Amino acid sequence: MKFFSKIYLLLLLILSNIALSSSWFLENLSVNSENGNLQLHLDSLKLPVVDDQLKKIFYQCKDSLSVYPIHSCSSGIITFEYNEISYQLRVHGWINLQTNEWKFEISNINEKVQLYLDSNNKNKLNIKLQKLQMATLADFIAHYINIDGNIPEGLLSADFDIDFKNLIKIVAKYQIDQLSWESKTGEYVLDGSNHKGNIELIQSSTGMDLKIINQLSQGEGLFKDMYVLFDKNPISTLLNIKFDQQLQPNSANVTINSTPAIEFKLVLDDWYKNDVQIEYIINNLSQFYQGFVASYFEILGINDLNLSGASHGKISVVNDKIIAANLVLIDIDMGMQSKKIQMKKINAQLNWSNIGKMQISKVAWDKLLLAGMPIKQSELSFSSVGQQLILQKNTELPIFDGSILIHELALQEIFKPQITINFDGQVNPVSIALITKKMGWPIMNGSISGNIPAMKKVGRSITFDGSLDLKIFDGKMQINNLSTERLFGIAPVIAADIQFQQLNLQQITSTFDFGEITGLIDGKVDGLRITNWKADRMDANFHTVKSKGVKQTISQRAIDNISSIGGIQGALSRSFLRFFDYFKYKEIGIGCKLRNSICEMKGIDSNTNSYKLVEGKGIPSINIIGYRRFIDWEIFLDRLLNAGY
């Protein structure tokens, strides 16, 4: 159907009659009126505002009582050809040729498009559309605008008032029911959506001003990775566009509201520079997240994010790239149990620009929990521009009863997969008891402190250049080749090689209620890999070392627990040795090569059938021999961490 083309031609006829009636040219007009049946034939009609002629014009009114000076028709038909296309319209109304007065209603055959003309308002025109198929409208629009996508489905109803008195003014109310549409790529989809709104188009001395107010409700939509259910999240849009005298767009601004709590404003000052200023106010982040962006995070595998608080800010975009941002976060609470992340009362002023001077940002919080590690109430300040971010020097983050002191932290290429990190920091003494309690491990005594080496990040992996030197159990721990993957993501991985020097065995054994052992111990763990916070690969060896003035004793309870690791339970309780509380030892050694959840046990001396765990000294002398070379890792941990009978 070409109904809009019919309307266009009728408008030209009316305008010509109003302004240029003397310039009409017609050919071979014949009029026949008999028994109330009026027929008018015209070979062609040339109007000054129409490029081509209207041809084969035929008008018929079967109930016409007179032709001149007044002609009235309750059910007339007009047919004509234009550009080799045939048109047919219904006519209802009257005309007084002497006084040049008229009142007409013109419609297409199914009366879904209606025009109302009244000489009392010669400068005004009214058009009504009644549940018109959107496919028909799209067929007309496609002649003027390239529609990127499939033909839309839905029903359009509208009421247009057009005023030609001085400058053109068009005011319309419309409603679209069950609108469905999909772009060619399938990235943008509307299904079963309802639209209701107003259109205002006003001609000015500089061009045209277009204003559209649209209420979108019901149905659903997909905008790339963002899914929206409009039944629960209706959207109100206000669009203003200014056109020049050649009807080319100059500027535009859009305001989008979901509720009073969510508002976005987009201002395009120069249409051709594609320079967009975005302002937003979100007073309910929980509603915004659940209604608009939760589907995107679910694609990323995040299904348990809880978010609340408020935010507002400004973002500058040029050619689809963000060049500046000023964001304010207000009382943000966020939690992800799967990633062991929790944030309480985050308040921030974030400023960034792609070029120019460094922009200062500040972030403060009441509580942070990152990878299960709590960071107490604190704040930090940093500067950024382009790909650079520099933390304020000597920033201290309180953790448990200690802190991490960051002397220097500078990031380069922050928006690229490979980030350059310059870092200098240290761990001020943190109680191991608090760490192990938080992680759900057996409570350990002592503290941890030391320097942190420089870091770098490639993709999701973080590696450390140099050794992480820590003090623990009155000894030293050196961590080499430390790297992490997805530390705050799904199934995080930590890998490292670790060396221990002169750890206090008394502190370690008292931690596990293992039974007391005194002395010092050295050891190493090569190829350690921890996946999802559980060790799944390593080659570990520990052995005691002699030191002047340090006793080497082992309690009866400790002997029994070490024996249980080797598969012998209650080694002393069944002999006279149960009357001794402590024994001297010459050396203790234990090792585990972990592969595929199986631990291959080693000791001071090992052969194919057995391995020595403890070599006694003095009288009575106690040697502990293990005979089970391969032990299930979970069973080994259970015996080690839950020793005692």
Query: DSSP for 456-476?
Result: EEETTEEEEES-EEEEETTEE
Q: What is the pLDDT of residue 5?
A: 44
pLDDT tens, 87-105? 899 999 998 888 888 898 9
Check residues 607 and 228 and name the one with the higher pLDDT: 228
Enumerate residues 6+ apart whose C-beta is below 8 A from 458. 417, 418, 419
Q: State percent of the chain over pLDDT 70.
A: 86
Quick one: pLDDT at residue 102? Answer: 87
- Report yes or no on 253 lying in a domain: no
Report d(CA 482, CA 489) in Å as an integer: 18
Q: What is the pLDDT of residue 488?
A: 58
User: What amino acid is encoded at 246 in this protein?
Assistant: Q
pLDDT (mean) for 375-397: 94
**Helix H or strand E segment including 505:** helix 505-511
What does the buried/exposed string (b/e) look like for 351-367 if buried means 16 or more CB atoms within 10 Å of the residue's CB? bbbeeeebbebeeebee
Instruction: Confirm whether 304 is domain-assigned.
Output: no
CB-based contact 465:455 (threshold 8 Å): yes
Tell me whether strands 461-465 and 226-229 are parallel, antiparallel or unpaired: unpaired
- Phi, psi of 531, deg, nearest 5: -115, 125
Q: In which residue are the tokens 């003494």 written? A: 429
CA distance 13 to 28: 19
Instruction: Name the residue with higher pLDDT: 384 or 562.
Output: 384
Any idea which residue has 């001609």 for tokens? 203
Beta bridge partners of 328: 312, 349
Q: Is residue 95 classed as helix, strand or coil in its secondary structure?
A: strand
Residue 494: inside a domain: yes
Lowest mean pLDDT among 20-24, 44-48, 316-320, 429-433: 20-24
Residue 457 has pLDDT above 80, yes or no: no
Helix (H, G, I), strand (E, B), or coil: what is residue 42?
strand
288 forms beta bridges with none
Q: What is the mean pLDDT of residues 327-341?
A: 89
Q: pLDDT band at 474, cuts 50/70/90?
A: confident
Residue 359: pLDDT band by 50, 70, 90 thresholds?
very high
pLDDT at 147: 59
pLDDT above 50 (res 106):
yes
Sequence-distant (≥ 6) Cβ neighbours of residue 110 within 8 angstroms: none
Reading the block at residue 22, the tokens are: 């003397």
Q: What is the mean pLDDT of the chain?
A: 84
Q: What is the mean pLDDT of residues 623-633?
A: 85
* pLDDT number for residue 451: 80
Residue ending a domain, among 87, 122, 157, is 122
The CA R_g of the chain, rounded to the nearest whole Å, is: 42
**DSSP conformation class of 532:** T
Region 187-193: mean pLDDT is 92
Residues 349-366 have a mean pLDDT of 96
22-48 average pLDDT score? 78
Q: Is residue 484 part of a domain?
A: yes
Cβ atoms within 10 Å, residue 408:
15
Tokens 């029994």, located at residue: 560
Closest C-alpha to 639, from 568, 535, 540, 582: 568
CA angle 448/454/459 to nearest 5° reads: 110
Tell the residue number behind the tokens 């080319």, with chain if given: 248
**Is the pLDDT reported for residue 6 higher than 50?**
no
The answer to whether residue 559 is domain-embedded is yes
pLDDT 10s digits, 249-258: 888 999 999 9
For 74, left (φ over 0), alpha (ψ -120 to 50), or beta? alpha
Quote the CA–CA distance of 482 and 565 in Å, as a whole number. Answer: 29
The arithmetic mean of pLDDT across residues 261-285, rounded, is: 89
- Using pLDDT thresholds of 50, 70 and 90, give the confidence band for residue 8: very low
| 3 state SS of 595 | strand
Overall average pLDDT of the 557-563 stretch: 81
Alpha helices in 272-419 (DSSP H): 285-288, 294-299
Which of 43-47, 124-128, 135-139 is most confident? 124-128
Decide: 381 and 400 in contact? Cβ < 8 Å: no
pLDDT at residue number 224: 86
pLDDT at residue 70, rounded to an integer: 87
For residues 137 and 176, give the distance between their C-alpha atoms in angstroms, rounded to a whole number.
Answer: 12
The per-residue pLDDT for range 481-537, each reduced to its tens digit, is 888 877 656 678 889 999 999 999 888 887 666 788 999 999 999 999 988 878 889
Report pLDDT for 366.
94
Residue 9 has pLDDT above 60, yes or no: no
Question: What pLDDT sits at residue 205?
Answer: 85
Mean pLDDT of 395-402: 90
What is the SS3 assignment for 227-281?
EEECCCCCEEEEEEEEECCCCCEEEEEEEEEEECCEEEEEEEEECCCCEEEEEEE
Say what the alpha-carbon torsion angle 189, 191, 197, 199 is, to the nearest 10 degrees: 40
pTM of the model: 0.70
Is residue 20 very low, low, confident or very high in pLDDT (cuts 50, 70, 90)?
very low
pLDDT of residue 501: 94
Residue 625 has pLDDT above 70, yes or no: yes
304-329 average pLDDT score:
93
Residue 355 CB-half CA count within 13 A: 2
> Is residue 130 a part of any domain in this protein?
no
The pLDDT assigned to 7 comes to 43
| Residue 538: inside a domain | yes
Domain span at 49: 1-122
C-alpha to C-alpha distances, 528 to 364, 439, 538, 595, nearest whole angstrom: 36, 19, 4, 11
Residue type, 598: I
Is residue 359 within 8 Å of 384, Cβ to Cβ? yes
* DSSP-based three-state secondary structure for 561: helix
CA atoms of 149 and 282, how far apart (whole Å): 32
Q: Give kind and range of the element (H or E) at residue 141.
A: helix 134-141
Identify any residues that bridge with 220 across adjacent strands, giving them in sequence order.
Answer: 191, 229
Nearest-angstrom CA–CA distance, 328 and 315: 12
Dihedral (CA of 129, 134, 136, 142) sign: positive
pLDDT at 393: 94
**For the segment 49-89, what is each residue's pLDDT rounded down to a tens digit?**
456 788 999 999 988 777 778 888 988 999 998 878 888 99
Other Cβ atoms less than 10 A from the Cβ of 37: the count is: 12
Q: What's the rounded Cα separation, in Å, for the pair 308 and 283?
A: 9
Q: What is the dihedral of CA 410, 414, 420, 421, to 10 degrees?
A: 40
Asked if the model's pLDDT at residue 323 lies above 60, the reply is: yes
Is the pLDDT higher at 624 or at 211?
211
Q: Bigger pLDDT: 581 or 285?
A: 285
In angstroms, rounded to a whole number, what is the distance separating the alpha carbons of residues 438 and 428? 18
Q: What is the spatial distance between Cα 148 and Cα 278, in angstroms, rounded to a whole number? A: 25
Q: Are 236 and 249 in contact (CB under 8 A)?
A: no
Cα–Cα nearest to 388, from 425, 355, 348: 355
Over residues 293-314, the mean pLDDT reads: 89
- On the question of pLDDT at 16 being above 50, the answer is no
Q: Which two tokens stand for residue 612?
A: 């020595």
Structure-block tokens of residue 470? 């820590």
Question: What is the amino acid identity at position 409?
Answer: L
Picking from 92, 122, 152, the residue at the C-terminal end of a domain is 122
Q: Quick check: is 337 in a domain? A: no
Most confident of 388-392, 399-403, 418-422, 600-604: 388-392
Domain boundary residue among 104, 122, 140? Answer: 122
- Specify the pLDDT at position 283: 95
Q: Pick the residue with more confidence: 561 or 294? A: 294
Question: 117: exposed, middle or buried (C-beta count within 10 Å: 0-12, 13-18, 19+)?
Answer: buried
**Number of domains the chain contains:** 2
In this predicted model, what pLDDT tens digit does every residue of 572-584 receive, in sequence order?
Answer: 544 556 667 888 9
